[in-house]
Amino acid sequence: MTATVSLDNLCKSYQEGTSRREVLSGLTMEVGSGEAVALLGASGSGKSTLLNIISGLVIPDSGSVLVDNVELSKLSAEARTLFRRERIGFVFQFFHLIPTLTVMENLRLPLQLNGKDDEAGAERARSLLERVGLADRADSFPDRLSGGEQQRVAICRALVHQPPVVLADEPTGNLDGKTANEVLKLVLDLTSEEKVALVVVTHSESVAEQCSRIVRMAEGRLA
């Protein structure tokens, strides 16, 4: 399996008052194309910091961050922003759909930002909506959708510009049990079909167990 995300000996700490707090310490891991890796651990174990490093939002103090064959720590802040826009998809706990845009307009926004909002892009957006059972809601606004429907739209938005990596931060944390399982199955199926490297941050053992691999974190290290 080709490694889409390759992290080598990552270290990251933050200044807190007169001392520094170590968040990541010598962390090494890989995520392959089409693989779903769950980051499981208590609050403060370093999961969110690791997700932010993979996306280029945070630069480590030391170590290598190779995502889709690009070393992120060598890019400028502007270049990392462009990289994130083009090659990373995000799924958040609270959906973050733009309320003044319709479902289809929300999906076409990443296409517009990446210069892909042509007929082929629109057809991909329609195809994804059909895949998640929301083809008839393309002209609806987010506030007319249930929580599960909004998260399905968010999954489509994360995938519509065909990124090699999708990062999901507690993607089922705001949903009831039955809806959470349905949404999780969708994101796992879609990323597997499209050979996308998926990293899921979660506190839930049941969510983690449905991924292809679990990485347990404790105090900034792989437990």
- Give the pLDDT confidence of 121-156 residue by residue, as tens digits: 999 999 999 999 999 999 999 999 999 999 999 999
Overall size of the chain counted in residues: 223
**Distance between CA atoms of 73 and 80, rounded to whole angstroms?**
9
Residue 1 predicted with pLDDT over 70: no
- For residues 196-209, average pLDDT: 91
Answer whether 159's CB lies under 8 Å from 190's CB: yes
Of 6 and 202, the structure prediction assigns the larger pLDDT to: 6
Residue 19 predicted with pLDDT over 90: no
Instruction: Measure CA of the first residue to CA of the last residue in the chain; give whole Å.
Output: 23
- Neighbouring-strand partners of residue 38: 200, 214
**pLDDT score for 51:** 93
Instruction: Give the pLDDT band of residue 176 (cuts 50, 70, 90).
Output: confident
Cβ-count burial of 146 within 10 angstroms (0-12 exposed, 13-18 middle, 19+ buried)? exposed
**Distance between CA atoms of 121 and 124, rounded to whole angstroms?**
5
Domain extent for 159: 3-222
- CATH code (residue 110): 3.40.50.300
- For residues 101-120, average pLDDT: 94
Looking at every residue in the chain, the average pLDDT score rounds to: 92
- For residues 70-94, average pLDDT: 93
Number of domains within the chain:
1
- Give the pLDDT confidence of 41-79 residue by residue, as tens digits: 888 888 989 999 999 999 999 999 999 999 999 999 999
Instruction: Give the pLDDT band of residue 191 (cuts 50, 70, 90).
Output: very high
- Neighbouring-strand partners of residue 65: 7
Of 41 and 24, the structure prediction assigns the larger pLDDT to: 24
Of 171 and 30, the structure prediction assigns the larger pLDDT to: 30
Nearest partner of 89 among 33, 160, 30, judged by Cα: 160
**pLDDT score for 178:** 83
211 φ, ψ (degrees, to nearest 5): -80, 165
**pLDDT score for 3:** 85
Kindly state the tokens that stand for 201.
Answer: 């941050």
